[in-house]
Amino acid sequence: MSIQLLFGAALAPMLWGTTYWLTTEVLWTDRPLTTALIRLLLPGLLLVAALRYRPQPGQWKPLLLISLPSMALTHACLFYAASRLAGPLAALLVSTQPLLVWGLAWLLFRQRTSRLISAGALLGFCGMLLVLVAPSRMHWDLPAAAAALAASASMGTGTLLMKRWKLDIPALPYVGWQLTLGGLMLLPLAAWLEFPLPLPNAREIAGYGFLTLFGTLLPYLLWFRALPRLDPVQLSVYLLLSPLTAICLGYLLLDQTLTPLQLAGALIVFAGILLSQRPATTPASSR
């Protein structure tokens, strides 16, 4: 296996993990919808323009239905949470997405899961509860925590819909159109609630440039380059590097630390995700 491929698969979620520090320290914290809009629309348009791939007429409806939860709702909730919660807390709550997928799979499609996956999901849920109820040294915001979990659920719903509707679209155009459509969905709401925008300073321009190129476009390119070459179970474990990166940046740059009980809860969440990623002895089936 290529070292460059493995490094790229690890670098992508690490770059995504910088989003939380960037949101609180550099970007417009009072305009989460605008930040989500910029993150989606600019790299999406770059990919669509560069690749020049147009979906077939019958693919537009499912593509729109996938882009709504996986891009528009996920990023709107994510940046609202990131602007009001400490990065380690926000990242940890969003990282519960693999655990929520299995519950959503049963609720939406009555899809059964193996006992191993169910045990991992239950373990991760217990760890998340411990993080939420333990006394915290960080600023706590209940609506923002709910938004982080909503971002996780929206991302999980989009993942399930992508698996349900296996559109015959190459990976890079697929993500390019998802980013673009998600950004276009947020545009009217952002314009209504947050426009007109202030004149950005040099620091903010650099921050949004980093978010567009290194927080979105580059990690998506690295991730989708690794996707067909690595086992999906192996690849999904790399997503744990995103909250770990946010926790490290919060500790190194902002003096943010989790309490011992919260650290124990975080380790339980990670253990639950790792357990649930192990291959089941029998494949899951749908009723």
Q: What's the pLDDT at 158?
A: 80
Task: Tell me how many helices (H) and strands (E) the chain has.
Answer: 15, 0
Top pLDDT among 280 and 164 is at 164
Q: What's the pLDDT at 139?
A: 62
Q: At 83, is the pLDDT very low, low, confident or very high (cuts 50, 70, 90)?
A: confident
Residue with tokens 């600023």, as numbered in its chain: 139
Q: What's the pLDDT at 1?
A: 55
In this structure, the number of other CB atoms found within 10 A of the CB of residue 32 comes to 26
Q: Is the pLDDT of residue 60 over 90?
A: yes
Q: At 161, is the pLDDT very low, low, confident or very high (cuts 50, 70, 90)?
A: confident
The encoded tokens of residue 106 equal 């049963």
Q: What's the pLDDT at 285?
A: 40
Q: At 253, is the pLDDT very low, low, confident or very high (cuts 50, 70, 90)?
A: confident
Residue with tokens 């089941």, as numbered in its chain: 280
Q: What's the pLDDT at 88?
A: 66
Radius of gyration from C-alpha coordinates of the chain: 18
In this structure, the number of other CB atoms found within 10 A of the CB of residue 165 comes to 13
The whole-number average pLDDT for the span 142-167 is 81
Q: Is the pLDDT of residue 137 over 60?
A: no
Tell me the backbone φ, ψ of residue 63, rounded to 5 degrees.
-65, -40
Q: What's the pLDDT at 160?
A: 74
Indicate the range of 106-115, 144-153, 259-268 predicted with least confidence.
106-115
- For residues 44 and 70, give the distance between their C-alpha atoms in angstroms, rounded to a whole number: 14
Tell me the backbone φ, ψ of residue 202, rounded to 5 degrees.
-65, -35
Tell me the backbone φ, ψ of residue 12, rounded to 5 degrees.
-55, -55
The whole-number average pLDDT for the span 43-59 is 92
The encoded tokens of residue 198 equal 């202030």
Q: Is the pLDDT of residue 34 over 50?
A: yes
The whole-number average pLDDT for the span 110-130 is 69
pLDDT tens digits for range 87-119: 667 777 776 666 666 666 666 666 565 677 667
Q: Is the pLDDT of residue 284 over 80?
A: no
Q: What's the pLDDT at 272?
A: 72
Strands (E), 101-257: none
In this structure, the number of other CB atoms found within 10 A of the CB of residue 16 comes to 22
Indicate the range of 127-131, 211-215, 265-269, 273-277 predicted with least confidence.
273-277
Top pLDDT among 9 and 195 is at 195
Q: Is the pTM of this model over 0.85?
A: no
Q: What's the pLDDT at 117?
A: 63
Q: Please check whether residue 135 is in contact with residue 261, taking contact to mean a CB–CB distance below 8 angstroms.
A: yes
Q: What's the pLDDT at 118?
A: 67
Q: What's the pLDDT at 102?
A: 60
The whole-number average pLDDT for the span 28-46 is 92
**In percent, how much of the chain has pLDDT > 90?**
26
The whole-number average pLDDT for the span 7-36 is 87
Helix/strand/coil for 111: strand
